[in-house]
Chains A and B, each alone.
Chain A
Amino acid sequence: MSSHDLHLEGAPFLKEQNAGLYEPAGSKSLGEATERSSKQNRAIAAEIPSWQDWRESARQIKQFAIANLDKLLVQFEERISARGATVLWAENAEQANRLVLDIAREHHVKTVVKGKSMVSEEMELNHTFEAAGIRAVETDLGEYIVQLAHQRPTHIVTPALHLSAEDVGKIFAERLGEPFSADHQHLTNVARRHLREEYLKADMGMSGVNFAVADTGTLVVVENEGNGGLSTSTPPIHVALMGIEKVLPSIYYLPVFLNLLGRSGTGQKLTTYTHLIHGATPGKKLYVIILDNGRTNVLADPATHAALHCIRCGACLNACPVYRRVGGWAYGWVYPGPIGSIVTPGLVGLKSAGKLPFASSLCGACQEVCPIKIDIPHQLVHLRHRAVNEPSPMNSLSERLTWKAWAWAMSGSKRYRLAMAAVRLGVRMAKFLPWHPGKLGAWTRGRELPRVPGPAFRKSWSRHRSQLDSHDRSDRT
C-alpha cells in the first residue's frame, strides 16, 4: 500500500455515513479488552499522588525536545556513533526501506527477527523484505499472531487486541499445524518454541526505539516478552528504527518517561525489560535509522506540534469510546485511535486522511489519560478546520453554503426566530413523513425526535419576568 492511499475497509463509518449502526467494526474482545486496560491504566496512575505533576513535567520536557530537535538529534548521533553505531537518516519511507535493504544485502541476510516497531509498520517494511526474498519474522507475540493471520495490527501497543484466545488457537492450528488450544499459557509456549528457532537462525535483528537519549547517546527499548532483547542482541546485526520525535534531551529524564509509559501503556509499574543500548557490542554491528516521513509537516503546524510529543503508549486508544467500537482498522493506516486521527493526516496529508479528525465525539477522554497531556480534542477541531478549507474529502461547497446560511440566520435575532420556526415545523412534520432524508434520517434511525413544546423561552420571557418580579417583591415585603 502506498502511504498516500488509505484503505478504510474496516471503516463503514468513514465510507458511508449511515452504515454500521450496531455492527461497529471492532470485535467484542476489543471492546472488553480496551475497557479493562483503561481501568487498569487509571488505577495504576492513581497510585502516584503526583501523577499530574509528572504529566506536566513530561509535557515540558517533550516540548523542549521537539523545539530543539535539530541540535538534540545531532548530539545523539555524535554520541552513539562514537561508540561504534552507524546512524542513517531517511526523509521518507522509501528511503528508509532502501537503507534497510542495503544493509541486509551487504551482510547477505536471509532471515530477520523483528522486535516491535511502529515505524516499521509505517514503512511497510515486511512487504519490502518479502519482495527482496528475505524472511522477516515478527517476534512480539501480538505482532507474530497478526503476521501469521495476514492481518494488520489493530492497536499500537497490543496488536492482536481484537483477537480472543480461541481466534489465536485457530490461527496457530491453521498456520503452524499445532493442535487447537485456547489456553493462554499453552499458546504462549507454542509461540515461544517456534520463535526460539528463529532467533538462532536470524542474520539480522530489528527493533523500534522508545527513547533516544541525546546527552548519553543511548537507545532505550522497552518490552515485556524478552523478544526485544533477543532480537537486538542474538543476531550479529541490529538495526533500530526511530522517528525523529523520539529524542529526549537527557538520561536524567528517563525515569519519568519509563514510569509514564509503563503505567499508561500496559498498566504496569515498569515494563518487564528496559534495554539501554549505548553503542555497538564489540564484534557486532549497530545501525540506527532516523526517519522523518512527514513528521516535519506536523512540526510546521503550530497547532499540532504537540502530537509529536506522543510516546505511543496507547492509553488514548483504550480510553476512546469510538476506537473501542470501530477498532483499529477503521482508521485506515498504521496509527489508529484519537492520536492516529492527528498523526495520520499529519504524515500522509489531509487529502487522503481528512475524514479522520471527524471520527470523534470530542469527549476528551484521550486527553485526560494521555501521560504527556497532549490536547488531542483541541487538535482534532483544528484539523477539522483545516480539512474543510484545504483539499480533502471534507471540503465541500454544499456544506460550506449550508453553514454560511446558518451563520447568517444565527447572527440576527429576527432571522434566528424565522429559522427556528422552520426547524420547529420540520420536527413537527417529521413524524408524518414515510422516510427521513439525510441528517434527519441519521438522527431518527435509532432516536426519537424531541417533542415540540409550547412557545419558545424568549416568547414567554416577558410574562415570565413579570411573575418573577412580583415574587421577588412579595419575598422582600
Chain B
Amino acid sequence: MITPANPTAPRQDDPPYQKGDPVALFIPCYIDQFYPGVGEATARLLTRHGVPVVFPEQQTCCGQPAFNSGYWEEARRVIHHFCDTFGDHRWIVSPSGSCTAMCRVFFGHVDPDRRVVGVGRRVFELTEFLVEILGVTDTGATFPHKTTLHIGCHTRRELGVVEPTLKLLQNVRGLTYCELPNMEECCGFGGTFSVKLAGTSLAMGQTKAENILASGADVVVSPDTSCLMHIDGILQRNPEMKHIRTKHIAEVLDAGVQ
C-alpha cells in the first residue's frame, strides 16, 4: 500500500500530554443531533482512561460543508466561532476524522491567522488520540461480531490515520475481523457531493455496499459517522444488505466494558 500523502503534522511545537490534562470534546453537528450515542461513548472511553472531559457548550460546526462547497467567506465565520469556543483548550478530541481534518488541515486555507491555524492543529481524531497520545491500544472492549472497517478518505489521506484505528479494533475481544475488498476506495459520500452529484455518489456507495456484503461482516465500523450515514442509507434500501449494521468505532471500543 502507498503511504498516505502529506499527513499534516499536529502540534509538535506544544508540550506533550500530561496525565490529568483535560480534553475538550468536539462533537460535530450530525453526531450531536443524529448519533448522540457516539458522543457518549467517546466521553466514556476517555473518562475510563483517566482523561477529564469537558464539553464547551458554545460549539457548533467546523465549517466543512461551506468550505467544500466553495463558500469560504461563510466558512470563515463559523471557523472563527469554533476558535472562540475552543481557543483556550490545549487538547481537543473529536470522534470524526473528517471534521478533524477540516480543523487541522484546512483552517489555514480559509484563514492563515496564527491563532486559527493553532487551534486547528490542536484537534485530534479519537483513535489517534487514544493510541498516539495516551498510548492505549486495548480499551478492554468485547464485541463478538463479524466486523469490517471503513476508514473515511479524509482520515486516511489528509490525517494519515489508519494504523491506530486498526490496532484498537484488533484488540477487541471476540471480534472477528473481516477484510473489506478495495478498502481504501471512497464510499462516495463526500459531503455536499452526495446530493450535488447524487447519481455518481450513489454508484460509488453501491460498490462500497457490495464490497461490505462480500466481506461477510455483520457490522461495519468507521471513525467517520458521516460516511456511515451514507452507507447505512444504502444498506437499508437493499433487502440483501439490510441486516448489516453500521457503528462508530467509539461504540465498539466502549462495548461490553465492565
Contacts and interface: CB of A to CB of B under 8 A. Distances in A.
A454 interface: yes
Given A362-B193, A448-B232, A21 B157 contact: no
Interface in B92-121: 106, 109
Interface in B50-68: 53, 55, 57-61, 63, 65-68
A367 B157 contact: yes
Contacts of B106: 381
Nearest to B47: A468
B43 A363 contact: no
Contact of A19 (B68, B184, B199): B199
B221 to A, nearest CB: 17
B102 to A, nearest CB: 11
A449 B197 CA distance: 17
B35 interface: yes
Interface stretch (B77-85, B124-132, B134-142): B77-85
A447 B186 contact: no
B234 A456 contact: no
Contacts of B157: 363-365, 367-368
A210 B31 CA distance: 49
A423 B184 CA distance: 32
A286 to B, nearest CB: 39
B199 A458 contact: no
Nearest to B38: A457
B69 A412 contact: no
Contacts of B47: 468, 471-472
A464 B43 contact: yes
A387 B196 CA distance: 15
A13 B197 contact: yes
Nearest to B46: A468
Contact of B195 (A362, A412, A416, A439): A439
A467 B17 CA distance: 25
A28 B75 CA distance: 39
Contact of A359 (B53, B197, B207): B197
A108 interface: no
Interface in B26-57: 27, 29, 31-37, 39-40, 43-44, 47-48, 53, 55, 57
A413 B63 CA distance: 14
B185 interface: yes
B65 to A, nearest CB: 7
Contacts, number: 231
A453 B35 contact: yes
A407 interface: yes
Contacts of A406: 65-66, 74
In the complex, which range does the number of interface residues on chain B fall in? 35 or more
A112 B57 CA distance: 71
Interface in B182-207: 184-186, 188-191, 193-207
B60 A22 contact: no
A460 B202 contact: no
Given A368-B2, A369-B2, A447-B234, A388 B71 contact: yes
A400 interface: yes
Contacts of A365: 153, 157, 184-186
Contacts of B81: 410-412
Contact of B5 (A12, A19, A325, A367): A367
In the complex, which range does the number of interface residues on chain A fall in? 35 or more
B72 interface: yes
Nearest to A16: B199
For chain A, what secondary structure do more than half of its interface residues adopt (helix, strand, loop), or is it mixed?
Answer: helix
Given A52-B3, A325-B204, A18 B199 contact: yes
A360 B198 CA distance: 11
Interface string A270-289: 00000000000000000000
B158 interface: yes
A465 B55 contact: yes
A468 B29 contact: no
Nearest to A23: B199
Contacts of A382: 109
Contact of B60 (A410, A427, A475): A410
Contacts of B1: 42, 46
B78 to A, nearest CB: 5
Contacts of B233: 443, 446-450
Given A325-B203, A326-B200, A464-B40, A410 B78 contact: yes
A169 to B, nearest CB: 28
A42 B230 CA distance: 28
Contact of A420 (B29, B203, B204): B29
Given A13-B200, A360-B190, A403-B71, A416 B29 contact: yes
Contacts of B153: 361-365
B200 A400 contact: no
Contacts of B29: 410, 416, 420
A20 B200 contact: yes
B70 A45 contact: no
A71 interface: no
Contacts of A378: 109
B236 interface: yes
Contacts of A454: 36
Contact of A22 (B36, B59, B196, B199): B199
A412 B58 CA distance: 7
B71 A362 contact: no
A388 B205 CA distance: 27
List 6 tightest A-B contacts by C-beta distance, closest first. Answer: A361-B190, A447-B233, A384-B70, A363-B186, A407-B74, A364-B157
9 contacts: A13-B199, A17-B196, A42-B1, A387-B70, A403-B66, A407-B77, A411-B80, A450-B34, A460-B36
Interface of B: 1-6, 27, 29, 31-37, 39-40, 43-44, 47-48, 53, 55, 57-61, 63, 65-72, 74-75, 77-78, 80-81, 106, 109, 153-154, 156-158, 184-186, 188-191, 193-207, 229-230, 232-234, 236-237
